[in-house]
Amino acid sequence: MIYQMASIGWALLLFLAQLNLLATSSVHSAPSLCHQDQANDLLKLKQSFFFYSSSTTLASWQSGTDCCLWEGIGCLNSSGHVIALDLSGFGLYSQGIDPVLFNLTSLRLLDLGMNDFGGQDYRIPSVGFERLASLTHLNLSNSGIKGQVPIGISKLMNLVSLDLSSRFIDTDDLDTASSMRNNLWEPYFPTLVANLTNLRELYLDHVILFSSPAEVCFKALAKSVPQLQVLSLEECRLQGYIDLSLSRLYSLVVINLRYNDGMTPGPFPEFFMNFLNLSVLQLAAINLEGWFPDRMFQSQRLKVLDLSRNLILSGHIPNFANATSLETLRLDLTNFSYVKSSSFSSFKSLMELGIDRNLISTNSLSSFGAVATLRKLVLTRLGLLRELKSIFSWMQDVKNLMSLEVSECDFSMRAPSSIRKSKNLRSLVMSDCNLTAQTLSEVANLINPQSFVVFRCQISGQLPPAIGNMSNLERLEIFNSQISGPIPHEVGVLKGLTSLKLVHSGLSGRIPSSIVNLTRLIQLDLSVNYLSGGIPTSLFTLPALQDLNFSWNQISGPIKEFDAVSSHLRLMDLSMNELTGRIPESFFVLSSLKELVIGGNSLMGPVDLTSFWRLENLTYLDLSNNKLSVTDGGGKPSSAYLSQLSRLELANCGMTKLPNILTRIKHIAYLDLSCNIITGYIPEWIWEGWKSSLTHLNLSYNMFTGMQLTSYVIPFNNYLDTFDLSFNRLRGQIPMPSSSAEFLDYSNNAFSSVLPNFTLYLSGTLYLSLSNNNINGYLPDSICDSPLEILDLSFNNFRGLIPPCLMENGFLSVLNLNENQFKGALLSNISSGCSLQIIDLHGNKIDGQLPRALGNCTDLEVLDLGRNQIADTFPSWLGRLLNLRVLVLRSNQFHGSIGYLKDEQSGEHFSSLQIIDLASNNFSGNLDPHFFESLEPMEKYNNTGQIIGQQNLTASRFYRDTVSYKGFFETFGRISTTFTLIDLSDNALEGSIPESIGRLASLISLNMSHNAFIGEIPGQLGGMTALEAMDLSSNQLSGEIPQDLTNLTFLSFLNLSNNQLEGMIPQTRQFATFDSSSFDGNPELCGPPLSKQCGTPDAPSESHLKSSSVFLLDKERAPLVTSILFWFASLAWALE
C-alpha cells in the first residue's frame, strides 16, 4: 500500500484530462484535434519500441488518426496539446529512451514505469528532461534505466510526484523483473531537490545516494520540500544518521528508509510519533538500537510498521484497550520479546506478520488468537523442534494464510505434520535453512502450493521424487542451494508449471526427457550446475517456452535440428558448456528470438552473420570463444539484418576485419571483438556513431596499429563501464574517453605519452592500466582526484616522485608502479584508512627507510619493493599484518639481522606469509630459529586452489598480477596460495642453518646460497616433502650430505656446489637424477655423478631409505617444476 498513493494520483490526472476532453466536446461541435507534430513524435517514439505481446502493440497509434484518442494519451481539449503519456506496465522494450520524447513539452504527466528501456546497458539520457517544464508527475520506476539521475530533472519546478525507484515486482517472471530494475545514482542530493518545492511524493528506492550523507539529504528535504508527504529511500546505501531536521516534515504520511544498513547506530527517532498522519513506517535494517516506545503501537492511523533486522532494538507489545489499525507488523530479527502483559488479540486487521524465536512460545502465539485476516507470515531463526511445532500448530487456526516465508531455520530433523492443515497456502519460500531430502519429501506430501521457492539453503541429499506430488505447482525455483544428484524424472508430471528454475545448486546427470511434458512452461533455467549429456531437442519447441537457460554446465554433443517455426523462444543461453558440431540451421529461423548466447563452447565451422537475417528482434548475440570462423557478407539478405543489436560478442572468432554489420547498427551498447586478428585502424565511426549509446568496448588482443581520431578526447556522451584497447600495436598519445570509464586498459601497446590533463577524464574510473608501454613523464597529484581502486603503470618510464596521496587514497586497493624511474622516499603518514592490498614498486629508485605507517595497511597482501635503494633494517613490524602473503625486498640496502625484536616474538607474526624474498641485500648475523615457526602457509599444504586477493580484493574482477618467470616478467591471472618460496641468497648471513626450517613441509623453493653459513646441513630439511628446488651453494657448509634429503621426492633442482661438504653423495631417489654441477666445488665429496671415486663406502642403511618404493619422477610435472625451480638463478640474472 505504500505505493498506492502515487498510482492513484497518476490515474486521477489522466482521468481528469480525459474528462476535460469529453466535457468540452459536449459544448463545442468541433473539439481541437491532436497537433500533427506531436502525433508524429509519438509515432517515432512507437518505432523505438519492441513488442512481444499482441495486447501491447499500441495498435491505436496509427498515422492519420487523432492521437488524443490513442491508448495511454491524454490531451487538453481547449488546445489539443498532449498533456499525459501513460505507458506504465505495457511491457515495452527499447534500446534507451528515444530523445524524441522531449519534444512533447506540453506533458504534465509522464509514466513509463514497468517497462524495459535499458536495452543492453543503455544509459538514461543526460539531457532533455529539462525541456518538460510543465511536468507535475514523473514516473520512471522499474523501467530498466541506468546512469546518473539527469540534472535536468532538478529543474522541473512543477513536480508534485517523482518516482525513479526500483522495487519488488510481484511476478513469477524474475528475469523480466530484473531487467526492469533501474541502476541510478544521484549527482548531489541537495542539488537534485533544491528547486522541487512543490514536491509531495518522492520515491528513490535503490537509487544510490553515495555522494550525500543521510543527514545532508534530510536537511535538504526539510529546507527545499517542506510539504513532502511520501519519502521512500529504500536501500539507497545511505550512511550517517537520521537528522532532527526531518521532524520539520510534519506532513509525512509514508516514511520508508529500510535496508540502509550503513546508517550510524542510534535510537528510534521519537519525533516520528509527532507525525499525526503517519500511515507507513518502514525502518528495517538501519541499525536502530535501544528501546522502542510502546506509544507508537497505539497510533490509530498507522497501517504498516516494519522494524525487522534491527538486531539490538528492544521492546515488547503492550496490551491495547482498543483494536489497532496495523495491517503489517514486522518484528523478525529484533530483540523484541514476549511478556505476560503483552496481548496480540487487538490486531484485528493484521494481514502480514513477521516474528522470530523471541516472540514464539505457546503463550505468545495463543494470545494472537486465530487472526482471521492474516494472509502472509514471515518466520525467522527457528532452531528448535518445539519452536517449529508451536508455530505450525498455531497455523492450523490461521485459516486464510496464503503465503509463508521461512528463513534461517533448522529443518534437518523433519517437517511438522501440522503444516498439512494450511490448505489455503499458495506460496512457500524457504531461505538460508538447513534441509534434508526427507524434509522436502514431507513438505511435498503435506502441502500443495502454487509457488515453492528455495534459496541459499543447505540441502543434504537429492531432490526427492515426491516433488512430483505438488500437483498445483506453477512455480518451482531453487537457487544457490547445494543438492547432490540428478533432477528427478517426476518433475515432468507437474503439468501446471510455468517457471522451473534450478540454478547454482550442484545438480548433476542428464536433463530429464520428462520436462518435454511441461507444455505450459514459460521459463526453464537450469544454469550453473553439473548437468551433462545432450539437450532433448523437443525442449526447443515447447509451445509456451520463452526463456531457456542451460549456461555453465557440462552439456555436450551436437545440437540437433528442430522445427523452429513452432518455437516462441525469446531468450536462449547455452553458453559455457561443451557443445560441439555446427550451429543448427534451426537457430537462424527463430523469429521471436531476442537473445542468443552460445559463447564458451566448442562449436565449429564457418558462420556468416548474414545467416541471422530473419532474427529481426535480436538484440543480443554472443558467439565468442568457440571454434567458429565468423565472416560477414557471404549472403544477400535485407540491409537491415541485425540492425537492432545492442550487444554483440564475437571474441576469439577468427575475424580478420571488422564486421560490415557494425556500420548499420544505430545504437550499440556492448561490443566485444577481443582476441581476433583484426588489423588496420580503429575507425572513427565507432565513437562518432555510437557516442550516445556505447558503454562497453573491448578491442583487446588484436593487431590494430592506429586510431582514426579528430581529437585525443574521444566524444562519448555516456558513462562507459569498459574501454579496453590492450594488447594491440597502437602508438603515439593515449586518447581518453570524454565521459570517463570505469575500466580503462591501454596496456601492452607502444603508446609514448598521455594527455597533460589526462586525469580530468578519470572522474568515474576504478581501474586504470597503462602498463607495458613507452610512456615518459611525471605522475601528477591530480591522479588522486579519481576514485581509482586499481592503478597499474608498470613497465614504463614515469619518473619523479610518487604522489603522496596515492598511499593516502582511501579507494586504492592495488598500486603497481613496477619498473619505472620513480625516486625519493615513501610517504610516512599513511592513515589507518589505508585500503591498499597490493603494493608493487619493484625496479625503481626509491630510497630512504620503509615508513612504519605501512603497518596501517591492515589489508595488505603483497608488498614488492625489490630492486630499489631502500636502506633500513629488517621490517619485523610488518609481521603484524595478518593478511600479508608476499614480501619482496630483494636488491636493496637492507642490513642487520633477520628475525623479531625481543618484544615481538609471537606466533602471530607473518602468519600468512607464503613468499619471502630478501635476496641481494646486506643482512648479516645468525638466523633466528623462531622466525620460521610461525610461517603457517609453509607448514601445511594448501590444496584449496585459492589465489592471492580472492577474498578481500575490492576490484578482484579487474586484478592481474605480474611475476618474474624464467628471467622475464609475465602477466598471469592469479598467484596461487599453494606457491611458497624463501629466498635469502646473496647476503652475509652466518652461523648454522636453523633446524626449524625443516618444519616447512609445504615449502616449494628454498634459496640460501651465497652467504656464510657453516656447520652441517640439518637432516631436518628432509621434512620439507613438497620441496622442488633447493640452493645452498657458495657457503661454508661441511660434513656429509644427510641421507634424509632423499625423502625430498619432488626435488628437481639442487645446488650444493662451492661448500666444504665431504663423503659419498647419496645415490637413491632424486639424487640419482642430478648432474655434477649440483656438487662441484666440494673437494671432499665423492661418488656419482662426480668423477672422484670413493674408497669402499658403506651402503646406506635401511633406516635412511624409510620404507619407500623406488622413486619415479612425475613426468607430467617435470617441465613446469623445473621452470619454477630455476626461479632464483633467472631472477638474479634479470634484475642485476
Q: Give the up-direction half-sphere exposure of residue 255: CA atoms within 13 A in the CB hemisphere.
A: 25
Cell of 16: 481528469
Residue 875's pLDDT band (boundaries 50, 70, 90)?
A: very high
Which spans in 783-928 are helix H? 805-808
> Residue 791's closest CA among 819, 771, 821, 805?
771
Collect contacts of 559-565 with beta carbons under 8 A, ≥24 apart. 559/535, 559/583, 559/584, 559/587, 560/534, 560/584, 561/537, 561/585, 561/586, 562/537, 562/538, 562/586, 564/540, 564/589, 564/590, 565/589
Looking at residue 1116, what is its pLDDT? Answer: 35
Looking at residue 892, what is its pLDDT? Answer: 97
**What is the three-class DSSP state of 467?**
helix
Looking at residue 52, what is its pLDDT? Answer: 60
Average pLDDT over residues 608-634: 91
Residue 1070's pLDDT band (boundaries 50, 70, 90)?
A: confident
Looking at residue 992, what is its pLDDT? Answer: 96
Cell of 366: 495463543
CB atoms within 10 A of CB 151: 16
Res. 451: pLDDT tops 50: yes
Res. 787: pLDDT tops 60: yes
Looking at residue 40, what is its pLDDT? Answer: 95
Average pLDDT over residues 503-527: 95
Average pLDDT over residues 679-684: 96
Looking at residue 387, what is its pLDDT? Answer: 66
Bigger pLDDT: 368 vs 153 = 153
How far is residue 294's CA from residue 991's CA, in Å, rounded to a whole number? 75
Q: Give the up-direction half-sphere exposure of residue 293: CA atoms within 13 A in the CB hemisphere.
A: 12
Residue 175's pLDDT band (boundaries 50, 70, 90)?
A: very low
Looking at residue 284, what is its pLDDT? Answer: 97
Least confident of 261-270, 380-389, 801-810, 1056-1065: 380-389
Least confident of 521-530, 620-629, 898-907, 1057-1066: 898-907
Residue 665's pLDDT band (boundaries 50, 70, 90)?
A: confident
Looking at residue 169, what is its pLDDT? Answer: 52
Least confident of 44-53, 216-225, 506-515, 517-526: 44-53
Residue 1132: in which H helix or E strand, if any? helix 1127-1135
Residue 495's pLDDT band (boundaries 50, 70, 90)?
A: very high
Q: With helix as H, strand as E and coil as C, how does 44-99 read?
A: HHHHCCECCCHHHCCCCCCCCCCHHHCCCEEEECCCCEEEEEECCCCCCECCCCCH
Q: Using CB atoms within 10 Å of the CB of residue 564, give its burial: 0 to 12 exposed, 13 to 18 middle, 19+ buried.
A: buried
Looking at residue 689, what is its pLDDT? Answer: 87
Looking at residue 339, what is its pLDDT? Answer: 66
How far is residue 360's CA from residue 406's CA, in Å, rounded to a whole number? 14
Least confident of 208-222, 616-630, 634-648: 634-648
Bigger pLDDT: 364 vs 654 = 654
Average pLDDT, the chain: 85
Q: Which residues contact 1069 (CB under 8 A, 6 or more apart)?
A: 1046, 1047, 1048, 1049, 1108, 1110, 1111
Would you say 497 and 476 are in contact if contact means Cβ atoms under 8 Å apart? yes
**What is the three-class DSSP state of 619?**
coil
Bigger pLDDT: 38 vs 911 = 38
Instruction: Compute the CA torsion angle 467, 468, 472, 473 (nearest 10 deg).
Output: 50
pLDDT digits (tens, 9 = 90+) for 288-336: 999 999 888 878 899 999 999 999 999 987 766 566 788 999 999 999 8
Would you say 249 and 257 are in contact if contact means Cβ atoms under 8 Å apart? no
Looking at residue 720, what is its pLDDT? Answer: 85
Res. 241: pLDDT tops 80: yes
Res. 1131: pLDDT tops 60: no
User: What are the backbone angles phi and psi of residue 635, rounded to the nearest 5°?
Assistant: -105, -175
Res. 520: pLDDT tops 70: yes
Looking at residue 168, what is its pLDDT? Answer: 63
Would you say 556 and 532 are in contact if contact means Cβ atoms under 8 Å apart? yes
DSSP annotation of 963? E
Q: Positive or negative, the Cα torsion across 387, 391, 392, 397?
A: positive
Average pLDDT over residues 259-287: 95
- Grid look-up 618484544 returns 903
Residue 909's pLDDT band (boundaries 50, 70, 90)?
A: confident
Looking at residue 947, what is its pLDDT? Answer: 53
Residue 2's pLDDT band (boundaries 50, 70, 90)?
A: very low
Task: Please give the distance of CA 375 from its chain centroid, rounded to a whole number.
Answer: 35
Res. 816: pLDDT tops 70: yes
Looking at residue 176, what is its pLDDT? Answer: 47
Looking at residue 256, what is its pLDDT? Answer: 97
Residue-by-residue DSSP string for 1073-1101: G--GGGTTT-TEEESTTSSPPPSSPPPPP
Res. 688: pLDDT tops 90: no
Looking at residue 53, what is its pLDDT? Answer: 56
Residue 1120: in which H helix or E strand, if any? helix 1118-1125
Share of the chain above pLDDT 90, in %: 61
Average pLDDT over residues 900-919: 76
pLDDT digits (tens, 9 = 90+) for 979-1025: 899 999 999 999 999 999 999 999 999 999 999 999 999 999 999 99
Which spans in 748-844 are helix H? 805-808
Instruction: Compute the CA torsion angle 128, 134, 136, 138 (nearest 10 deg).
Output: -20
How far is residue 907's CA from residue 931's CA, in Å, rounded to a whole number? 9
Residue 1047's pLDDT band (boundaries 50, 70, 90)?
A: very high
Looking at residue 819, what is its pLDDT? Answer: 96
Q: Which residues contact 15 (CB under 8 A, 6 or more apart)?
A: none
Looking at residue 783, what is its pLDDT? Answer: 92
Residue 863: in which H helix or E strand, if any? strand 862-864
pLDDT digits (tens, 9 = 90+) for 179-195: 567 888 778 899 999 99
**What is the three-class DSSP state of 620?**
strand
Q: Using CB atoms within 10 Å of the CB of residue 22, give its burial: 0 to 12 exposed, 13 to 18 middle, 19+ buried.
A: exposed
Residue 11's pLDDT band (boundaries 50, 70, 90)?
A: very low
Greatest extent of the chain over all pairs of C-alpha atoms, in Å = 129
Res. 68: pLDDT tops 80: yes
